[in-house]
Structure 1
Amino acid sequence: MEPILQLDGITKRFPGVMALQDIHLRVAPGEIHALLGENGAGKSTLMKILCGIYQPDAGTIVIDGEARHFANYHDAVAAGVGIVFQEFSLIPYLNPVENIFLGRELRNRFGVMERARMRRAAAEIFARLDVDIDLTVPVRELSVAQQQFVEIGKALSLEARILILDEPTATLTPAEAAHLFTIMRELRQQGVAMIFISHHLDEIFEVCDRITVLRDGQYVGTTDVHDTDVGRLVEMMVGRRIESSFPPKPATPPHARRAKPVLEVEALQLHRDGPVNRFTLHEGEILGFAGLVGSGRTETALAVIGAEPAHVREVRVRGEAAHFADPADALAAGIGILPESRKTEGLITDFSIRHNISINNLGKYRSLRFFVDRRGETRTTTDVVKRVGVKAPSIDTRVETLSGGNQQKVVIARWLNHHADILIFDEPTRGIDVGAKAEIYQLMRELTARGYSIVMISSELPEIVGMCDRVAVFRQGRIEATLEGDDIDPNIVMTYATSGASGVQHESA
């Protein structure tokens, strides 16, 4: 079958950086084609070229056998290219219909906007997607999954024949992701070609036909899904085979060797009528918080440090009663958090690595009364950057230019620089590639070996099983059970997360 899309010899340079060099990609009509690579491999740059946001320095874009040049995004849309960005591009205060037709509203011959016609057209699109969307409410009131489907509907309304899906499942539950895959298969049957970008390799094997891999801005190869496996793909992406993403757990877990408790939550009740949870974190331990999205994992962790209100909060840190009015109090007690959304809650992306690390602790570098000791700041910041393995030209590199994995390391470095030794990691590997995940896992184990203690909240069962010394399983706001040893098993975790204790006596973490 002749390809609907061909990219040949695509090359793109930025000042001091060769972002893409001689990239090739072919996608057939009705094909779901995965585009893989570590963060920084060039995937986003290539897609921005295909969408007309960037122009290549060399190479050609061919659609339906005709060479195209896209001066801007509108040129790409006119050629049948649509994209669903990882970061939503919806206007939160407009409803789905208004978002779909923004800037190209349907009007009659007198120039009057035809709202009923637009509403019917939007309803037909969502019927095609088999999703139920309230067309009258602002999109900010929709769930994340519904907003994702509005983005897809917007692209389809443009009559896109080539649809780019950039990390579309990053914020979806497993059930929502499964429905998205159903929609993708239906679109494939309708002849829509899709380029699917995901860091979840299991998704690639579930829904894709072929895979193209980029590494360091260069084309590595293209393979059929049925002719490869996870190990081979990882080797193509990172240039080496990663035998196991997870470093070995300690032979004797911290709680089993009676390591001292560093964080004891003796009673935590978020609402007057809600459940009361209790758990303990030991020195050198990784305690997992598992459960479905909305089960109360993150809310519990945030309530502990005063970032969320609580009806009852009884907390002890290193044996002493602690009263946290806000996260600043928790930080003063040595508790730092790597939030779920690193870009909006964990970092100031316009700032440098240096400033992101030292911003919470500038008093440490005070020279005289009003000045900052830059030499001291440089020395300690450089040291902590080396300790966590941030890869960047210098500590003055802007954080927004870093890969997702390196951004996570900058947040960790900030808390180490502040001498926090109790760390809450909320979805620490979301949106980062397999190589960076392995580095984050190794860093976590190195930290616990040095006496740091970690609460890890994760929606990914493999990393819960592979990383945690004990696991607290949440369901409907309650810790249903705490698992350790051989009981840290995917089936057991999911049984408690979906069905509750089912007669099993509740254990405290």
Structure 2
Amino acid sequence: MTAHSDLTAETTHPVGLSIRGGTKVYPGTVALKDVDFDLRMGAVNVLVGENGAGKSTMMKIISGVEQLTSGEVRMDGEVVHLSSTDDAERHGIGIVFQELNLFPNLSVADNIFMAHEKTRGRIDIDSAAQHAETRALMQRLEHDIAPDTLVGDLKVGQQQIVEIAKSLARNARILILDEPTSALSSTEVEILFRVIDELKAEGVGIVYISHRLEELIRVGDYITVLRDGVITGAQSMEGVDIPWIVRNMIGDSSKDFAKEIEHPFGAEALRVENIRLPDSSGGFVVDGVSLSLREGEILGIYGLMGAGRTELLECIMGRHQHAAGEVHVSGRKMRKPSVSDRISHGLALIPEDRKHDGLVQILSIRENMTLSSLGAITRGGIDMDLGAERTRVADFVKRMVIKIASPEHQVSALSGGNQQKVVISKALMTGPRVLLMDEPSRGIDIGAKAEVFRVMRQLAADGLGIVFVTSDLEEVMSLSDRIIVMAEGRITGEFSHETATETALVTASAPRGAEGKEK
């Protein structure tokens, strides 16, 4: 920035929090190296970097989850010691984590006011007041979610809205948003951006982390880029474009999307006929869906949140006992809706929510990777062959380019992108004929995304059939051999790689009666 723009920034957007000489060391790795960071108030401070670059570590330090090994944190020029999340909250700092921290067995209102309950005379909880404020927050976020709805009954995108509402209820003066749009539809993203504009006008300092680069350019006022724990670029967003961000993220050697590997398709790998899954209101979440997939083919399923895409994959995988319809794998009809049975017949699922459905957070990376294929590393079905297990894990760590210090470390210590690669490795270890992938690039940066997509293309070239769900137009058009669009539980469009256009996909994804409305 020029001297003039520096002065303008100090006047318009004063520094509310800064890190000086920040270093954070974990066993086997240095997550942050002598970092200097300024968070400006009344502005969106964009933070970007590949998975493992140090973004989440820096945010955990600001929010009191972790403490610096060396260096200091300052607020309004004064050194502060944020030794806990309570400490950070007392200083007006709130955070919406990428991995949601909600109680699924409690209501929306209870989650929003957890540990901050509204009381009558400090004796009992004022449920009416909590419900009223919850309704106001949902109205502000333009969502019709009842305060007494159990969080466990909400979709991931709706849970993300609740997490955002929880931070808004704290009236934080500094708000950290870690991948806030990863599970949101385009309409919900627009709502979030309007709320961000309101918060900026109120003087709130926002840290915004996302792997969606176009989003960063649109919403950001200032940008900081991290690579391997070091800040490689920091300035106002003036003049910043995607090539600038990518260059600072990964250096001069840009990592492109996966390139198609030409190969012929084989026999039918999967056939689904008239899948129907009823909902609690008498309708259907999945309503008469039929599709087929050939060996070596990548079939993309595009649609908005609530279209029934996730539920379709769950039905194929045998998760819903009351689902109707037929599933055939390599010509063989599946007799019963059982996940273990479907795995044994060659189906594998990469779930949308890797934290809760894909990983056991207290187990090691090694244990998570082999969890679905223990039969392949046992002798006589009794004793585990630990040597064979270590060899298999080492092979997949190399194959998937997973950044780890040791496979014995807890999987929870990994960045989001590396956790996703562990989930994918776990599925591949079962030797599937068909791989079902629900939002496989959710929370993954541009480099990790390219690595995952190259693996998908190579697997397809080796004869694996792949069905993947995504809300990303660029992804579905770049990677798919064929695209199906879903809306309101039904297939509303089917396109070849050659005939698919963004306009056609968005039009087909619109719920009935919603054509012409803002998406």
- Counterpart in the other structure of 1:429: 441
Q: Does 1:165 align with 2:177?
A: yes
State yes or no: 1:338 paired with 2:338: no
- Write out per-residue CA displacement over residues 339-385 of structure 1, whole angstroms, 9 at most, x where no aligned residue: 11122212223223332233333333333563222223333343344
Inter-partner Cα distance in structure 2 for 1:183 and 1:221: 27
How far 1:306 sits from its partner (Å)? Answer: 1.6
Alignment partner of 1:354 is 2:366: yes
Partner of 1:446: 458
Q: How does 1:138-287 map to 2 (within 5 A)?
A: 138=149, 140=151, 147-242=159-254, 244-248=256-260, 250=262, 254=265, 259-271=266-278, 275-287=287-299
1:97–1:315: structure 2 CA closer, same or farther, 3 Å change rule? closer
Matches of 1:190 and 1:496 in 2, distance apart?
Answer: 39
Distance change in 2, residues 1:190/1:145 (3 Å)? farther
C-alpha separation in 2, matches of 1:204 and 1:114: 40
- Is the 8 Å Cα contact of residues 209 and 224 (structure 1) preserved in structure 2? yes
Decide whether aligned partners of structure 1 residues 284 and 79 sit closer, same or farther in structure 2, where only a CA change above 3 A counts.
same
Cα deviation, residue 118, structure 1: 4.6
Match status 1:491 vs 2:503 = yes
| 8 Å CA contact retained: 1:253, 1:469 | no
Q: Distance between the aligned counterparts of 2:469 and 2:169, measured in 1?
A: 37
Of 395, 399, 403, the residue aligned with 2:415 is 403
In 1, distance between residues paired with 2:132 and 2:325?
A: 51
Distance 1:404 1:379 in 2: 24
- Cα offsets for 1:460-490 (capped at 9, x unmatched): 1111000000011112211122200322211
- Matched with 1:363 is 375
Is residue 122 of structure 2 the alignment partner of residue 115 of structure 1? no
In the alignment, the residues of structure 2 paired with residue 415 and residue 163 of structure 1 have an alpha-carbon distance, to the nearest angstrom, of 36
Report Cα offsets for 1:366-424 as digits up to 9, x if no partner: 33563222223333343344333333334434322233333233233233332212111
Displacement after TM superposition at 1:33 (Å): 0.6
Residues 308-340 of structure 1 deviation map (CA, whole Å, 9 limit, x = unaligned): 245542333223333243121211111111111
Q: Distance in 1 between matches of 2:108 and 2:480?
A: 41
- Give the distance between the partners of 2:24 and 2:51, measured in 1 at CA: 17
Q: Distance in 2 between matches of 1:186 and 1:324?
A: 52
Deviations 1:147-195 (CA, angstroms, capped at 9, x unpaired): 5455444434444211111222122221111101101001111111111
Inter-CA distance 456–369: structure 2 relative to 1 (3 Å threshold): closer
Amino acid in the other structure paired with 1:205? I
- The one-letter amino acid paired with 1:445 is R
Is residue 2:301 matched to residue 1:289?
yes
Distance of aligned partners of 1:260 and 1:147 in 2 relative to their CA distance in 1, 3 Å threshold: closer
Higher mean alpha-carbon deviation, 238-247 vs 452-461, is at: 238-247
Aligned-partner residue type, residue 482 of structure 1: E
Are 1:137 and 2:148 matched, yes or no? yes
Deviation at 1:293, TM superposition (A): 1.2
Aligned residue number for residue 376 of structure 1: 388
- Contact 2:271/2:292 (8 A) holds in 1: yes
Between the aligned partners of 2:325 and 2:206, the Cα distance in structure 1 is 49
Is 1:475 matched up with 2:487? Answer: yes
Q: Within the alignment, does 1:61 sit opposite 2:73 as a pair?
A: yes
1:232 aligned partner, one-letter code: W
CA contact (8 A) 1:133 1:146 kept: no
Aligned equivalents of 1:58, 1:452: Cα separation in 2: 48
Q: 2:474 aligns with which of 433, 458, 462?
A: 462
Q: CA deviation at 1:115?
A: 2.7
Give the RMSD, CA atoms, in angstroms.
3.0
Aligned to 2:29: 17
Distance 1:384 1:247 in 2: 21
Residue 517 (structure 2) aligns with: none
The farther-off stretch of 361-370 and 33-42 is 361-370
Q: Distance in 1 between matches of 2:228 and 2:410?
A: 20
- 1:47 is matched with which residue: 59, 77, 82? 59
Which has the higher mean CA deviation after the structures are superposed, 367-376 or 414-423? 367-376
| Secondary structure class of the residue paired with 1:22 | strand
Asked if the contact 2:50–2:249 (Cα under 8 Å) also holds between the matched residues in 1, the reply is: yes
Q: In the aligned structure 2, how far is the partner of 1:499 from the partner of 1:266?
A: 23
Q: CA deviation at 1:207?
A: 1.3
Alignment partner of 1:359: what SS?
coil
Amino acid aligned to 2:424: I
* CA shift for structure 1 position 137: 1.4
State the AA in 2 paired with 1:208: G
Asked if the contact 1:234–1:241 (Cα under 8 Å) also holds between the matched residues in 2, the reply is no
Q: CA deviation at 1:492?
A: 0.8
Supply the distance in 2 between the matched residues of 1:8 and 1:168 (Cα, whole angstroms).
27
Contact 1:92-1:138 at 8 Å conserved across structures:
no
Distance 1:158 1:330 in 2: 45
1:436, 1:90 → 2: CA distance?
27
CA contact (8 A) 2:98 2:178 kept: yes
CA shift, 1:281, in A, is 0.6
CA contact (8 A) 2:310 2:469 kept: yes
**Cα distance, 1:360–1:87 mapped onto 2, change above 3 Å:** closer
SS at match of 1:425: strand
Higher-Rg structure is: 1
SS in 2 for 1:439: helix
Distance 1:113 1:207, change over 3 A: same
Moved more, 6-15 or 145-154: 145-154
- TM-score where L is the length of structure 1: 0.88
